[in-house]
Amino acid sequence: MKVRRLKPQMMKRETLKKQVYEYLREEIMNGRIAPGERLIEEKIAKKIEVSRSPIREAIRLLEKDGLVIVNKRGGVTVFHPDISHFQHLYECRVELEPAAAYYAAQRITKEQIRMLRQHLPSKHEICRQYELKKIHDMNVKFHEGIIEASGNPFLIKTICHLRGINSMYRMAILKRNDLRVELAIEEHFNIFEAIASGCADDARRYMREHIESDYKFYVHLYSERK
């Protein structure tokens, strides 16, 4: 695999930290750095040709996302979720995100509707070009757009705290079955139409059904693996 060089001499410190963070996050989300694997600063620094300082800063951001665990005795490992973690995540999402959809339907602006629509690819396009990263990114932006449109800063902060494990959960589903992707797109359209038309109760119901369907599908996949 060709390693992306970050050319630190051309970047400000904050930009470099962000790029190292995004690089490591993508490696984790795509499974190139596996759950439970150790992150060794020296090895990463040599691989992407940066100093260890922005790597440490990036690791702190990854820890905040819940994607890595910094051990008390030293050492950093990628978070390794199991079925109980995803169950607990579901218990949070199934209450919080329908609430976000409910308030978004009441408060969303015309500009936010326009932006949300951009994250709804046609089913034909996705079936024809099944690109995992593209689908995942659009999925994330769609959900985050709804959360932002809720206009509730406390709700936004609470849900965003779950972003890391939520991304792992989505990727675990997307990697296993494109049928679920097709159904999820249809569910997204239902949620979008309800929000855009101001039907708050429908938006909440559709979002709850969407999250329940995701979780049932994941549990089914998990039981097949055992």
pLDDT at 178: 60
Residue 224 identity: E
**Strands of the sheet with 68-70, listed across from one edge:** 38-39, 76-78, 68-70
What is the value of pTM for the model shown? 0.77
Q: Which of 56-65, 158-167, 185-194 has the lowest mean pLDDT?
A: 158-167
Residue 58 has pLDDT above 50, yes or no: yes
83-225: which CATH number, 1.10.1660.10, 3.40.50.300, 1.20.120.530, 3.90.1150.10?
1.20.120.530
CATH architecture of 8-78: Orthogonal Bundle (1.10)
pLDDT at 9: 46
Q: SS3 sequence, 106-147?
A: HHCCHHHHHHHHCCCCCHHHHHHCCCHHHHHHHHHHHHHHHH
Average pLDDT of the residues of the chain: 84
166-223 pLDDT tens trace: 877 777 666 665 667 778 889 999 999 999 999 999 999 999 999 999 888 888 877 7
173 or 63, which is more confident?
63
Query: What ranges do the domains of the chain cover?
Result: 8-78, 83-225
Do residues 199 and 103 make contact, with C-beta atoms less than 8 angstroms apart? no
Average pLDDT over residues 28-35: 80
What is the C-alpha R_g of the chain? 19
Do residues 97 and 146 make contact, with C-beta atoms less than 8 angstroms apart? yes
Do residues 38 and 75 make contact, with C-beta atoms less than 8 angstroms apart? yes
182 or 61, which is more confident?
61
CA distance 60 to 71: 12
CA distance 207 to 159: 14
